[in-house]
């Protein structure tokens, strides 16, 4: 077989493989994410309601305090429950690239742990 023909067959095979991969369904997220047993949307709605009603401190205040304590940036955050109390779990990237999981009391804003 001529080299040009081999190259043509390789390109066609690669194109058909890429097309099949592009048509594959994207992975679906898990049904539940947090210990409150709610999906992300419900979790965010609960956090917003709690802040509006004065039950929880705003997450922005929590993020500012963590940044003051450990310069870096937020990877993600969510409202969870620990020992029957609402807490924010904030995943943080420190300035040197290390990841820290902060557990913060959602009612008082106090940092309970940093791991």
Note whether residue 55 is domain-resident: yes
Give the per-residue pLDDT at 113: 94
Note whether residue 2 is domain-resident: no
Note whether residue 57 is domain-resident: yes
Note whether residue 79 is domain-resident: yes
Per-residue pLDDT tens for 61-76?
999 999 999 999 999 9
Note whether residue 44 is domain-resident: yes
Give the per-residue pLDDT at 79: 93
Total structural domains in the chain?
1
Q: Residue 108's Cα: distance from chain center in Å?
A: 23
pTM of the prediction?
0.64
Note whether residue 63 is domain-resident: yes
Note whether residue 34 is domain-resident: yes
Nearest Cα residue to 71 out of 94, 53, 88, 51: 94
Note whether residue 12 is domain-resident: no
Residue ranges for the chain with pLDDT beneath 50: 20-22, 26-38
Query: What is the span of the domain harbouring residue 50?
Result: 26-114
């Amino acid at each position: 077989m001529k080299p040009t023909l081999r190259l043509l067959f390789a390109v066609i095979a690669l194109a058909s493989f890429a097309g099949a991969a592009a048509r594959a369904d994207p992975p679906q997220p898990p049904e539940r994410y947090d210990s409150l047993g709610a999906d992300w949307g419900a979790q965010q709605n609960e956090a917003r309601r709690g802040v509006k009603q004065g039950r929880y401190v705003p997450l922005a205040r929590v993020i500012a305090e963590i940044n003051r304590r450990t310069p870096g940036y937020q990877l993600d955050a969510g409202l969870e429950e620990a020992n029957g109390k609402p807490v924010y779990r904030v995943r943080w990237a420190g300035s040197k690239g290390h990841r820290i999981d902060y557990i913060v009391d959602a009612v008082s804003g106090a940092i309970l742990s940093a791991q």
